[in-house]
Structure formats: structure tokens, C-alpha cells
Chains A and B, each alone.
Chain A
Amino acid sequence: MSTAKIMQQGKVVPWLYILPALLVIVIFIVYPVVNTTVLSFRDRTGERPASIACIPGETCWGVFENYRYTLTNPEMVTALRNNALWLLVMVPLTVAAGLLVAVLADKVGYESLVKAVIFMPMAISFIGAGVIWRFMYAIEAGQANQIGLLNGILVKLGAQPVAWLSTAGINNFALMVVGTWLWAGFCMTILSAALKGLPTEVLEAARVDGATEWHLFWRVMVPMILPTITVVTTTMVIIILKIFDIVFVMTGGNFGTEVIANRMFKLIVTDKGRSTAIAVFLLILTIPLMIYNVHRFRQEEAMR
């Protein structure tokens, strides 16, 4: 932001412009953040302290009781483990897939068509995507007449059909395939824009020096778009921490596919204390990224 004065104005005028927006933000984001934090130390009704739920003789964290639930309850542990798995698998997968498509599509004559196809899932709802993939994974009793494509192929090849969504060990990855199908287009679009912004002279110079396409990619392109890769990665981390719709519509969090946000949703009505504690936990997980984003913003501003 420039610091030079553009036009003289009173001290009040700017606030008249920003106050309506600030007011809405305070009511709908700032106040709820405070209130949710307070509620996370209360019991299920939100009226008494959380410690009231303690049972004498059993482990209790006092007012942090809801956080004990968040961190140690078996279902929550499954959810935490799954979110970690999602992060470890899906962040690299979407970024890599996005980068791969961005690079490959750049080399063919029908680039915009390919990119539209890969990006299309972003335009539809996650719920709709869930329906699409429930149908892909559908399994019918008996060997013959599978109506889900994947099991149709398996049976055609002479294999047994697989219950993709209810078999532990497979189902989480089946869900991640859906996530990748959805988000790879997002990564591709941003990374593709960054690749197109690279100065052609640099790429040409490397080619003249005899660099292979493989070297060109790893030694020139990737280092030059590293800032963009970082942005895409942090964005994906935030998205995956909050992953909800896909799991809700495809498995409902059953069969060991629970995730943090789905747990929070399930408890909203029945247990405000635990539900808000999970929300606060989600917020805490995003704080490092929040700080990073603000830091990056300030750096960009300093360069303007």
C-alpha cells in the first residue's frame, strides 16, 4: 500500500466506508470465534462448566474435558488419524497431479479443452461429486450384473467385486481418489498460470544449452514456480483440514472413515461443548497457515 496521501479527507470518512463490512465480519466471524472458544469450556448445553461431565474415579481434564474428548476419544482418534492420512496423501497427490496436467496440457494443441475437463469437477457441488463416485464404487450382491463401473471392470476381469466404501484399509483411499478428482483441477489452474508466466528466454536458453525436458522441468520450472507451489500447498492443507462434504455423503464417517469436521457436525445439536472444542481444535490447526498467509501478504506489500 502506498503511504502517500492521495486526497485530503476527514478522519471519519474512511470508517464510514469500512464500518458496514467490519460490522458484519465482527458479528459473523470475530464474535463467534470468541463465543465458540468460551463454549468449548462448557458442557453439552453450553450453560455449565465442562468439568460437570466428569465422572468421579475416571480420567478428567477439568474445564478442558471437551478437549480430552477431542484428543483421546476413540472416534476422534480415528478422525485425527484420517485427517493426517488425507494430508499426507492428498496434498502431494493433488499438487503433483495438478502440476503434471499443467505441464502436459501445455504441450498439446487442445490445451484449453483438456484443462476444462480436469477443472470441471470444481464447478459442481461436493455432494454431487459424492453421488457420482458412490455410483462408481457401487457394489451389488452376487457376482454378476455389477452396476458400479469399478466392480463391473473387476468382474469382467474375473475378480471378486470389492466393497470400496465399507472395507477398512481401502475406503479412505477410495475417498481420497474422489478428493483428488475434485481438487487437481484447482491446483492445475493456478500452477498452469504460473508456468505460463515464466520468461520464455530463460526456458529457451536452457534448451539451447542442451537441457532435456526432464531437467528443464526439475532444474528450471519447479524452482521458478516454487512460491506458487507453496501457495497451492498451503491452500490444499487448509481445505483438507476442513474436509467434510465428501465423507458425509459417501460414508457418513462410518467404517473407519471419520474426519474431524464430520465429527464436529454430528455433535452440533447434541453436545455444544464437544462440538465447539473440535471447532477450536480445527482453528488451532489453521493458525500456523493463517500466520504464514499474513506474513506472505506483508512481504508482497513491501515489494509493491
Chain B
Amino acid sequence: MKPFSGLNNFFRKLPVNLSVLVLAVLWIVPTLGIFITSFRSREAVRSSGWWTVLTPQSTEGQETYNQYCGECHGPDGDLIAEANLADPELVAKYPRSNRLLAMLRAEINGDPHLPDPPLPANPNEALDLLAPILTYMGTLAGSDSSGTVGLTLRNYADALVGYKGTQDYLTDCEQGVESALAKFDCNSSDLLNPEGMGQAFLNTLYVSIPSALLPILFAAFAAYAFAWMEFRGRMWIFALLVGLQVVPLQMALVPIAQIYSQIGLQSTFLGIWLFHTGFGLPYAIYLMRNFLGGLPREVFESIYIDGANHWTAFWKLALPLSVPAIASLGIFQFLWIWNDFLVAKIFLTTNPVLTVQITNLIDPRGGNWHILTGAAFLSFIVPMLVFFGLQRFFVRGLTAGSVKG
């Protein structure tokens, strides 16, 4: 065995590995940004970029601090309670290092403040030493007041109830702020506040589940007929369905909205279920018919010979065998509708779904990134679970044919 073959192999593959890793990092960073931001306080989000959370806390001056102060005040500055160097109020008394110098020159209990090592006698040299110490005290005070990196779950509470005030929902409730009390009850019923992501989450579930199941039900029957029955125009109608898959759903918005307002389906769940069923069907039939048509012919022949009619063959044979196709299709359709914005925006105005509610929360001046990022992540929970748990089915549902309108 050649001694360097492993190493050679490593260097030969290095460019590929590097490019793949760079691409993966580029792809994940934007999402990481809002994920981290969704846990930061309003002030933190406004004052610094989310990436500062990833960089270690500034350690400038730590060495000098440890040399002169660490022994008595401790590494975190809080060992002496009456002189807590991590206390922001105390640190605020020393905006410049000459103030600190004056204090350190004074004696404590009759002894020099700094016995070992003593400060240099030359004031300029002493000041050069004190500046980094002061910086480090600022770091200690800053990190102490807001926890290590200042992460919070309050943004999620704000997003769930749809809080739009100037502090945060939980603080407002604790302090009994009037404007908050006018809108909220400050108990769990706020989770169903119509302006919040909590209610939107339920609305989205209520839209997506029937809208994913209904097309599959209709499509299964039709697909069975297209795959295993003989009738005039079979090929012709099916080709038409292939064509209909790409009709832009914009073509249906105005007429269906008109019909709905005439028959009272405007802004009802039934209305949006039916709309999604209509536009989901061509693709669903196409996918299921291709799957059913690909099943072995002998299986169907034998059950027909045994005297089964189509009805029995459909329920006893076709449906159980097409579970993989139904799973792919159902999951794909479910996520597609979960993420839909346009149809829900037009046909479900009084019960906003997650995507619509997010757009309601957007502050054009960018003043509420902490809530908006939390809201966005709430809407990602289900897609992420489905994606990482059932990725195989989702990918198959998405890529099995062409793409729907």
C-alpha cells in the first residue's frame, strides 16, 4: 500500500468538497439568520447583527483585568458584593479611565487599592493599563445584564398572540398596560387572538388537511378508470388533463370569486377546499393513473377472473396498492397548500392563514424583525417536520410528473 494514497486522495477531492461545503453554507445561512434573530430581544436585534451571537464575547482587556483585579474581584467581577464590577451602574460611574485611576489611587481600609502588582507611578503608563480594564468591565456588565447572549422566547409569545405594541406581550400583561389589556385577556385564550399566529396556525391546518385529502379521493376513482377501464375518449380526455395541469390559477380567481359571492361561499373554508381540489386534481389524477397503470396487469386479471367487479377491485386492490403514491401525493399537496398565499389571500379574507398573517405583521420600516422572524419560524415548524420526517415522499410527490398550476 502506498503510504500517501490517503493523503493524495484527500487533496484530489478537496476542491469538490470545498465547493460543496461552500454551497451548503450559502444555502443555510439566510435561514440561520432569522432563526437566531427570532430568539433575540427587540433591543439586541436593533443594535447588532445576528451573527454577533456566533462570535465569542469580546475578551479585550481580559488579561490585564485578571492580572490586576481578577484575584480579589473574581474572573466575573462579582466576587465582592459591595464593589460588583459587573454591575452596569457601577461601570457607568467610570466613563473614562482617569476617573478609575483616581479611585484606584485612593486607599481602601488604610491599604493601597492595588498592592500587588502596584500600578505604575507614571500616570500615562497607568492610564494605558486602565483603558483595557475598563473595556473589559464594560463587557462583563453588558453580558451580565442580558444573560450570556441575551436569548429569549418572548418573540414567539408576541407572534402567537399577534402583539403589535412597543414592549412585549408578557411585559405588558405583567404591568397591566391599558392598550394591551384592551386587546388581550392575558391568559391562554390570547393564543386564539384573530391577529395572532396561533389562530392562523389552526386556520392553516383546517385549510390544508381537507384540501389535500379531497383531490386524492376524487383522483383515485378517476385514475382507476383511466388506468384499467376501456371507454371512448379515454386517451383524449387524459391528454386534456395533462394540458390543464399548467393552466395558471390566475385564470380562475375572478370568476370563482364572483360565483362564491353569489352563493355565499366567499371567505368560507368549504370554498377554499373546493378551489384547491379543482386545481389539485389534474396533477393528482395524472400521478395516480401513472402509478396504477404501472402495477402488474396479472394482479388485476386474476381478481377479475375470480369474479370481482371494478368496485371491489378498486377498494380491495387498487387503493391498498397505491398507498405509496397516495402518501407522496398527499404530503406534497398538503405542503403546497400549507405554503399557499395567493388563494388564501383572496378566498379566505376573514380567517387569515399563516402566510397571510405574516404579511400582515410586516412593518415596512423594519421595526419588528424580532416578531416577524418568530412568526416566520412558527410557519416553518410543520413544513420542517414533514420535510425531515417524510422527505422521501415529498420529493417523490413533487418530482413525479410535471408541475401543477
Contact = CB atoms under 8 A, between A and B. Distances in A.
B403 A132 contact: no
Nearest to A11: B231
B228 A132 contact: no
A30 to B, nearest CB: 8
Given A6-B301, A32-B251, A231 B402 contact: yes
Interface in B364-386: 366, 369, 372-373, 375-376, 379-380, 383-384, 386
B222 A13 contact: no
Contacts of B359: 127, 248-249
A121 interface: yes
B239 A298 contact: yes
B47 interface: yes
Contact of B376 (A22, A131, A149): A131
A147 B45 contact: yes
B342 A15 contact: no
A19 B27 CA distance: 45
B278 A24 contact: yes
A9 to B, nearest CB: 6
Contact of B383 (A1, A104, A125): A125
B211 to A, nearest CB: 12
Given A9-B310, A28-B277, A128-B379, A279 B33 contact: no
B30 A181 contact: yes
Contact of A282 (B24, B248, B379, B398): B248
A116 interface: yes
Which of A107, A149, A297 has the most CB atoms of chain B within a 10 A radius of its CB? Answer: A297
A244 to B, nearest CB: 6
Nearest to B256: A32
A190 B355 CA distance: 27
B97 interface: no
A152 B29 CA distance: 14
B47 to A, nearest CB: 6
A28 B256 contact: yes
Nearest to A34: B255
A15 B246 contact: no
A46 B257 CA distance: 13
Interface in A16-68: 17-18, 20-22, 24-25, 27-33, 35-36, 39, 46
A239 interface: yes
Contacts of A289: 246
Interface stretch (A77-85, A203-211, A260-268): A260-268
A128 B394 contact: no
B221 A235 contact: no
B275 interface: yes
Given A268-B253, A293-B243, A298-B239, A125 B355 contact: yes
A181 B27 contact: yes
Given A21-B222, A104-B16, A131-B373, A7 B310 contact: yes
Q: Is chain A's interface secondary structure helix, strand, loop, or mixed overall?
A: helix
A101 B248 contact: no
A123 B278 contact: no
Contacts of B258: 46
Interface in A120-137: 120-128, 131-136
Given A189-B399, A235-B402, A276-B254, A21 B218 contact: yes
Contacts of A235: 402-403
Interface string B344-358: 001000000011001
Which of B31, B248, B339 has the most CB atoms of chain A within a 10 A radius of its CB? Answer: B248
A135 B246 contact: no
B255 A32 contact: yes
A147 B394 CA distance: 34
A133 B30 contact: yes
A193 interface: yes
B212 interface: no
A28 B162 CA distance: 34
Interface stretch (B48-56, B102-110, B114-122): B48-56
Interface in B291-318: 293, 297, 300-301, 304, 310, 314
Contact of A244 (B252, B342, B384): B342
8 contacts: A15-B231, A28-B256, A29-B247, A123-B335, A124-B379, A134-B362, A145-B49, A279-B250
Given A145-B48, A193-B399, 18 more contacts: A1-B238, A6-B304, A17-B310, A21-B281, A24-B278, A25-B244, A25-B278, A27-B278, A33-B247, A107-B13, A117-B27, A127-B359, A135-B372, A138-B369, A147-B48, A265-B250, A279-B250, A279-B251
